[in-house]
Chains A and B, each alone.
Chain A
C-alpha cells in the first residue's frame, strides 16, 4: 500500500512538471511568432517613404489648385488660362495630348539567331510580360508618361501576346520594342540597371537591351481605334 501511494505521488509530480514545461514551451513559441521582425521595420520604413512622397505630391497639387482658383476669381481672361492649364494637366495624365520632356529610351530586341541554341526558341520571343514588368518598374520609378513603339500607354492600354506579335492599344507591334519614358532620367535608369534588376534578367535570357538617357523626348497622344 505505501508503495502504491508513493507511485501515485511521483507520477503526479512528473505530470505536474510536464504540464509546466508544456505551458512554458507554448508561450515561448507564441512569443516568437508575434515578435516584430527586422523585415517588418523595413516594410514600415518603405511605406512611410511612399506616404511622404505622396504627401509631397498632394501638397504640390494643393498649391497648383489654389493658384488656379485665385486666377479664376481675378477675371474672365485669367479664368480661361487657369482652366486651360488644368485641362492640359488632366489630359496629360489621361494620355490625350502629346508630351515632351527628359527621360530614357529602352530598346528590347530579339537575340540574333546564331548557332547558340542553348536557349529554347520560345524564350527567344520577347513576351508581353517582359513589357508589362518594364512598364510597372518605370511607373514605380516615377515615370510620368510612357509609349511603346509610338503607342501611348493609358489606363486601359493592354499589352497582349497574339502569336508572335504583341498588341498594344489594339495595334500590332513587332520587335524591336522601343519604350520611351518621361521622368527623372537617372532614376528611371537606376531602376532598370540595379543588380538583380530587369536588365540583368533580360540579358540572361539573351534579349538585346539598350538603355539611353535623353534630354528631350516627345511622346504621341493616345489615338482611339
Chain B
C-alpha cells in the first residue's frame, strides 16, 4: 500500500513537472530575440532633453509676452493693450476660474472574453472628442484635458494607450477633463438619456462626473504660428 501511494505521488509530480516544462519551453520560444534595447533607451533620453528644452522655450515665450505688456505706456497703447487682453481671453491665453464640472474617463475594467477585441474597450480619441464637444454645446467657457488648455486648434489623437494633446503633451489614462461653466447644465448635458455617458458606458468605459465650485483652467502657453493664414483687415 505504502509502495503504491509513493508511486502515485511520483507520477503526479512527474506530470506537473512535464506540464511546467512544456509551458516554460513555449514561453521562451515565443519570446523573439530580445528587442533592441539601446534605440528606445537613447530615444527616451533624447525625449527627456527635448522636453526640457521645450519647457525652457515655453517659459521664455511667457516672459517675453509679459515684457511686451509691461513695456507698453501711453494712452493710445493702453487702449491697444486692453484689446489685446480681451483677445487673449478669447484665444484661451488667460487662466479661467469658476464653477464647473470635472469628468474622469478611464479604460474599461471589463474582463475580456476570449476572442473579444480589446480595442473596443479602451478609450479612443473619438470618445474624448465627444465629451469635449458635448461640454462645448452645453456652454462651457473654458476646457482643459489633464491640465492642457483646449483651444480652437487643439487636436486629440490616440498614440497607443496614450493620447496626444496640443501637439506636445502626452497623457495616459485616466483622463481628467475640467470645464468651467454652469455645473448643472454641463453635467445634465453629459448624463442625458442616450447621451455621451450612456454611449461610453456601453463600452464599459469608466466615466465619473463631479461638480466643482471652483476650478482653474490654465492658459494655453504654446506658440501662435501662422505660416499660411494672413489677417484680412477691412
Which residues does A use to contact B, with CB under 8 Å? 3-4, 7, 10-11, 14-15, 17-18, 21-22, 24-25, 28-29, 32, 35-41, 43-48, 50-55, 57-62, 65-66, 68-69, 72-73, 76, 79-80, 82-84, 86-103, 128-129, 132-133, 136-137, 139-140, 143-146, 153-160, 167, 182-184, 218
Find out whether the CB atom of B17 lies under 8 angstroms from the CB atom of A18: yes
Q: Would A159 and B43 be within 8 Å (CB), given that A89-B224, A94-B90, A100-B232 are in contact? A: no
Among B34, B43, B74, B157, point to the contact of A48 (Cβ < 8 A). B43
Enumerate chain A residues within 8 angstroms of B159, measured Cβ to Cβ: 43, 46-47
CB distance B226 to A54 under 8 Å? no
Partner of B225, one of A60, A160, A218: A60
Q: Report which of A57, A76, A101, A155 forms a contact with B92, defined as CB distance below 8 A.
A: A155
Collect the chain B residues with CB atoms within 8 Å of residue A86's CB. Answer: 68, 84
B43 touches A139 (CB 8 A): no
How many B residues touch the partner, as a band?
35 or more
Report Cα–Cα, A82/B2, bound state, in Å.
100
21 residue pairs A–B, Cβ–Cβ below 8 Å: A36-B41, A43-B162, A50-B164, A51-B168, A54-B167, A55-B50, A57-B222, A58-B60, A58-B223, A79-B71, A82-B68, A89-B226, A90-B91, A90-B93, A93-B226, A96-B90, A97-B232, A98-B232, A101-B229, A136-B155, A160-B137
Q: A11-B13, A99-B229 are in contact. Are A41 and B43 (CB under 8 A)?
A: yes
Verify B223–A44 contact, CB threshold 8 A: no
Q: Helix, strand, loop or mixed for chain B's interface?
A: helix
CA–CA, A53 and B64, complex, Å: 20
Q: How far is the CB of B44 from chain A (nearest CB, A)?
A: 6
Residues of chain A lying within 8 A (CB to CB) of residue B130: 129, 132
**Residue from A14, A41, A143 in contact with B153 in the complex, judged by beta carbons closer than 8 Å:** A143
Residues A140 and B157 in contact, CB atoms below 8 Å apart: yes
Those of B1-19 within 8 Å (CB) of chain A: 2-3, 6, 9-10, 13-14, 16-17
Contacts of A158 in B (CB 8 A): 133-134, 136-137
CA distance A46 to B167 in the complex (A): 11
Give the residue name and chain of the A residue nearest to B83 (CB).
A87
